[in-house]
A and B are shown apart, each in its own frame.
Chain A
Amino acid sequence: MSAYQNMDQMTGDFYTQKFEAAKQDGTLIINMGPQHPSTHGVLRIVIEVDGEYIVRAEPVLGYLHRMHEKMGEVQTWGGFIPNMGRVDYGHAMAWNWAYVGAVEKLMGIEVPERAQYLRVIMTELNRLTSHLLWWGAYILDLGAFTPIMYAFDDREMLLDILQRPSASRLTYSNFRVGGVQMDMDDKCIELIKAFIPHFRDRLPMYHDLVTENIILRRRIEDIGIIDQDMCRRYGCTGPVLRGAGVAYDVRRSEPYSVYDRFDFEIPTQDSACSAGRYHVRIAEMEQSLRIIEQALEQLPGAEGSHIVDKAPKPAMKPPVGEAYFAVEGARGKIGIYVASDGTKTPYRVKLRAPGFSNMNAFAEAATGTILADAVAILGSLDLIIPELDR
């Protein structure tokens, strides 16, 4: 019987009804979200459970759809940059970079060396804040309240640092076509230099407190297998893909900016489970520290400009054409395609959000697990809902 025949007897919206049409006997259909503590915002997942076992799961998106792509078509090229800070509040710098990178490619602008390094430093610091946010929230999902406080302790220091060159603490929009908006002052560099050894000391503590905990390990090991084959089918990137043993990182495989000058590793795990993704992210934090350290050493002096001379105004008119630029965000490959028809506003802006692809693997990974595992899997994908819906 079709789901639409006896509408009056059915409850719930279109998605629930569609789900209900294929319901098995003795199961319960529940909505996890849009308001649910562990969906981190307004992701909604319709789940059919048999007892506590998940028979089917289906994410429903769109509760935080803000039409960023459409906004791109009505705003000026420069005026679209603040939108990028709001697509993914976790790793806003990477989105900034992907967009200005695409526009620079379109206009053929060569960014000054100092600006390149400043971008690297800020993006990597932002990656640390993103991973710390994820780490705390993930452990919170698994029922331990305390680690997020420790993570935010360090994150607070990072936000204080990032506040200086960007004048904001979460939704950064300080990248400009041709460079960055503000230079980094000496005090900021001092703070970063002090932060690196501090954080190196803290990471082992995180391991001791949390990673080795037997309850945590039992909760995440061998749970939520997303293997290479699944990653290929769904287009997963970032820590999800690296957690499945594929050393794919845009910073290494398609080096952009000055990333080819740094010596860093691409951490991978072969287990393909939640624990694998967990360890990849923790290891990535260490690698980010290494990159920042090297970038600070190589940072050209103050005489190097932080933005290109005669930087284009917000109402710039790039030549007719199209460009695609990809960077490695905290959640995976961020790709932005821009097309220009030679006017003040972009003809088309297409955002490739890594979280969207990663999230789609959830339904398959969660099938057959129990409800508590669904939380563990969902958390391990590190979803930022505004990024999924864009």
Chain B
Amino acid sequence: MNEFIQNLIPLVVAVVGSMAWLAVNALVLVYCERKFAGHIQRRPGPFEVGPHGVLQTLIDGLKLMGKQLLTPDNADRFLYWLAPILSMIPVLLLFMPIPYGPVLTGMEVDLGLLLILAFSSFNGLALILAGWGSNNKWGILGAARAVAQTVAYEIPLLLTVLAIAFMTGTLNLTEITAQQAGHIGNWFIWKQPLAFIIFIVAMFGETNRAPFDLAEAESELTAGFHTEYSSMGFGLFFMAEYGYMVVICSICSVLFLGGFHGPIPGIEGWWWMLIKTYALLFLMIWARWTFPRVRFDQLLNINWKWLLPLATFNLLATALIMKL
């Protein structure tokens, strides 16, 4: 019993910590995105609430909570409200195995990478349920797109991650980070450049971010799967989207950019992880505010005709080199 409690306490702390981390990240990231987008578009971005608008997202969140929760008439109430929750909850778990610092790891899991890939698939399910449950034709079209997209982009993502797992011989993220210790030359981006590029592209597809935001393609499907959601129903999808962005960028920095290790030996710490993650996040934001949206068949073509063969090739090449 005593041992159980001893195990339980850090777990609870870690879950609470990752919830806080997720909420803070969503606040900061949304503000950063809007500010960044503003400057890309030659305007100041949010400016009214607080100095330079720093409180804007907080106020927006409050506003969102104050709105009425509406359920459409013929919606499947259970699935309709299950979807945003199902989208949000797995994100909390996903932060667990990611090593943010030498001691700042929620829970060291031997199969951390597998856990993340497994639980992140819940998002696809949530999007289907949202589109189906809301009994809206645009929602169904959005959901259909979301399914095809997330299923397709998970495969190259998995294959690139597998290549790393082949190389390191482990699925433990802490272990993978440890193998990249030392200087910048030890980072896996140099050993797996192709995998890195594939991962970056698949990252956009997996998180439904522009230019691959087909599931909610605003100008085509009004809002896609979340057309009918109001208040925090939409808010949860929104937070989950930003949560997934943080998770996938964190994984990318762990797998390819050395995690919390600095570019020169001796200076390691959580700040490196933060810098790398946010650099990747800014890349995603930058792409969103720059590119037009691809068409759906083009999106799938990119995946099945380019990413998948390249990822397979990369995996085989890695296996061959490892064998030799």
Residues in chain A within 8 A of chain B (CB atoms): 28, 30, 36-38, 49, 51-52, 139-146, 149-150, 153, 213, 215-216, 218-219, 370-373, 375
* A-B residue pairs, 3 tightest by C-beta: A143-B293, A149-B41, A144-B292
- Are B296 and A146 in contact (CB-based, < 8 A)? no
- Are A139 and B292 in contact (CB-based, < 8 A)? yes
- Are B222 and A370 in contact (CB-based, < 8 A)? no
Shortest Cβ distance from residue A125 to the other chain B in the assembled complex, whole angstroms: 22
A30 with B138, Cβ < 8 A, contacts A37-B222, A153-B42 known = yes
- Are A372 and B220 in contact (CB-based, < 8 A)? yes
- Are A371 and B41 in contact (CB-based, < 8 A)? no
Chain A facing B: main interface SS: helix
CB contact between B211 and one of A28, A38, A49, A143 (< 8 Å): that residue: A143
- Are B222 and A145 in contact (CB-based, < 8 A)? no
Nearest to A37 among chain B residues (CB) is B219
A146 to B222, CA, bound (A): 19
B 81-114 binary contact with A (CB < 8 Å = 1; else 0): 0000000000000000000000000000000000
- Are B295 and A37 in contact (CB-based, < 8 A)? no
Given A145-B41, A218-B295, A372-B220, 6 extra CB contacts under 8 A: A37-B218, A144-B290, A150-B41, A153-B42, A219-B293, A372-B217
Tell me whether B210 is interfacial, beta carbon within 8 Å.
yes
CB contact between B291 and one of A28, A30, A144, A372 (< 8 Å): that residue: A144
A216: B residues at CB distance < 8 A: 292
- Are B295 and A219 in contact (CB-based, < 8 A)? yes
27 contacts between A and B (CB under 8 A): A28-B137, A30-B138, A36-B222, A38-B219, A49-B141, A52-B145, A142-B292, A143-B210, A143-B211, A143-B217, A143-B291, A144-B292, A145-B41, A145-B288, A146-B40, A146-B290, A149-B41, A149-B43, A213-B291, A215-B294, A218-B294, A219-B295, A370-B295, A371-B141, A371-B220, A372-B295, A372-B296
B 134-151 binary contact with A (CB < 8 Å = 1; else 0): 000110110011000000
Shortest Cβ distance from residue A216 to the other chain B in the assembled complex, whole angstroms: 5
B 270-309 binary contact with A (CB < 8 Å = 1; else 0): 0000000000000000001111111111100000000000
A145: B residues at CB distance < 8 A: 37, 41, 288-289
A150 to B298, CA, bound (A): 27
Most buried by A among B42, B288, B293, B297: B293
Nearest to B41 among chain A residues (CB) is A149
- Are B41 and A370 in contact (CB-based, < 8 A)? no
A139: B residues at CB distance < 8 A: 292
- Are B211 and A215 in contact (CB-based, < 8 A)? yes
- Are B138 and A215 in contact (CB-based, < 8 A)? no
Shortest Cβ distance from residue B56 to the other chain A in the assembled complex, whole angstroms: 18
CB contact between B42 and one of A150, A213, A219 (< 8 Å): that residue: A150
A219 with B292, Cβ < 8 A, contacts A142-B219, A372-B217 known = yes
A375 with B219, Cβ < 8 A, contacts A213-B291, A219-B292, A370-B295 known = yes
A218 with B296, Cβ < 8 A, contacts A37-B222, A144-B291, A145-B289 known = no
A143 to B213, CA, bound (A): 9
A125 to B40, CA, bound (A): 27
- Are B41 and A142 in contact (CB-based, < 8 A)? no
- Are B292 and A213 in contact (CB-based, < 8 A)? yes
B218: A residues at CB distance < 8 A: 37, 143
A140: B residues at CB distance < 8 A: 219
Shortest Cβ distance from residue B132 to the other chain A in the assembled complex, whole angstroms: 14
A142: B residues at CB distance < 8 A: 219, 292-293
Shortest Cβ distance from residue A136 to the other chain B in the assembled complex, whole angstroms: 11
Most buried by B among A36, A143, A216, A373: A143
A149 with B42, Cβ < 8 A, contacts A30-B138, A215-B211, A215-B291 known = yes
A49: B residues at CB distance < 8 A: 141
- Are A38 and B220 in contact (CB-based, < 8 A)? yes
B141: A residues at CB distance < 8 A: 28, 30, 49, 52, 371
B145: A residues at CB distance < 8 A: 52
A191 to B221, CA, bound (A): 42
Shortest Cβ distance from residue A291 to the other chain B in the assembled complex, whole angstroms: 28
Most buried by A among B290, B292, B294: B292
A150: B residues at CB distance < 8 A: 41-42
A370 with B298, Cβ < 8 A, contacts A30-B137, A37-B218, A215-B292 known = no
Nearest to B40 among chain A residues (CB) is A146
B219: A residues at CB distance < 8 A: 37-38, 140-143, 375
A52 with B42, Cβ < 8 A, contacts A30-B137, A37-B222 known = no
